[in-house]
Structure 1
Amino acid sequence: MKKALLAPVLCLTLMLMAFRPYAEVEMIKKRVLSERVEVLIPKGFEVMSEQQMDFNYAKAQSRPSVIYTNSKEASIAFTYTDNTADQDMIDMYSENFYKMYSKQYKEAKWFNKGVKEVNGRKVGYMELMKPELGHEVYNLIFFTDVEGKLLMCNFTCADRQKPEWETVAKQIMNSFKTNG
């Protein structure tokens, strides 16, 4: 009798495992930008080396202040800009960034955009898939003011990895806390 139940139970277990969502990614708290910001980062993500940043951003007008990555599969970049910003300006930045990105990336597929409250602060965000170097890249860009300047954060991964990383990207955005 027990052997007769073993096969269907085993089959059901395998089917449930096949349909389960991607494994949970363990997150750890990190303080970035000289302790100005606290955010959850996936465990295993390391700060990109200066040499790799120089190589990746050799032709860019500006480069991020710090990038955490897991061997090029996914990354979260923090760019602390010189642009003046405060909580009253986040809606304006959100509208302007959407217009700019829509114009620059006409083929982009938009998932969401707007302004939300995260830990008592206004945070603007844009979620899209855009072409980059011959393939599609998932981006969750979010931004807010920190000590009177605009902080831009950009989570990126390849389009095929979006199902695995989209929830993680949103966890990062929703964990964002600033000390200024």
Structure 2
Amino acid sequence: MRKVLLLPVLCLFLLLTAARPAAEVELIKKRVLSERVEILIPKGFEVMSEQQMEFNYAKSQSRPSMIFTNSKEASLAFNYTDNAADQDMIDMYAATFYKTYTKQFKDAKWFENGVKEINGRKVGYMELMKPELGHEVYTLIFFTDVEDKLLMCTFTCADRQKPEWEAVAKQIMASVKTN
């Protein structure tokens, strides 16, 4: 009799465990890039050290201006570029970046891309899963203009962590405010 009850109880436990939402990530408001941008960042994320940035981007053509991370599990990078930008150019940047990324990452799985209005400003974005160093990486890139220059923000995490971080990444994007 015990063995008969054990299987249904075990199945019910597994179902309830799988249905539980992932632990909620607390977001805190931060001002970054010399107070030019206000954005929500996951509590516990710290600014990556200069040494770690140099190591991680030693072979990269462009290095982010600032990266927040939680021990390499997930990261949020800011790249305040020298590219001229204004609100009228965001649609053009969105189309150009999409075209470039689809050529560069032919094996990427695309979820969404386009332009949204966030806090009264146009924000371009691309959401994809792309191969990187032998594994898949969930990536949400969003960008807008700040003081006539292009600001690019990139949220990344390993593919297996997408269920936990996807909604958080979108909350971060939806919180971006520029001065």
TM-score by length of 2: 0.91
1:5 corresponds to:
none
1:105 corresponds to:
105
3-state DSSP of counterpart to 1:44: coil
Q: Whole-Å Cα distance in 1 between the matches of residues 16 and 132 of structure 2?
A: 36
3-state DSSP of counterpart to 1:124: strand
* Range 45-54 or range 12-21, more displaced: 12-21
1:173 corresponds to:
173
Gaps spanning 5+ residues in structure 2: where?
1-10
Q: Whole-Å Cα distance in 2 between the matches of residues 15 and 108 of structure 1?
A: 31
Q: How many angstroms does 1:16 deviate by?
A: 3.9
Q: Whole-Å Cα distance in 2 between the matches of residues 51 and 150 of structure 1?
A: 25
Q: How many angstroms does 1:166 deviate by?
A: 0.2
2:31 corresponds to:
31
2:130 is aligned with 1:130: yes
Structural mapping, 1:1-180, within 5 Å: 16-179=16-179
Letter of the 1:85 partner, please give it: A
Letter of the 2:97 partner, please give it: F
3-state DSSP of counterpart to 1:115: strand
Q: Whole-Å Cα distance in 1 between the matches of residues 130 and 54 of structure 2?
A: 23
3-state DSSP of counterpart to 1:151: strand
Letter of the 2:168 partner, please give it: V
Letter of the 1:132 partner, please give it: E
Q: Whole-Å Cα distance in 1 between the matches of residues 138 and 52 of structure 2?
A: 21
Q: How many angstroms does 1:142 deviate by?
A: 0.2
- Per-residue CA deviation, residues 10-37 of structure 1 (Å, 9 max, x unaligned), is x979854541110110000010000000
Alignment RMSD (CA, Å): 1.7
Q: Whole-Å Cα distance in 1 between the matches of residues 177 and 13 of structure 2?
A: 40
Gaps spanning 5+ residues in structure 1: where?
1-10
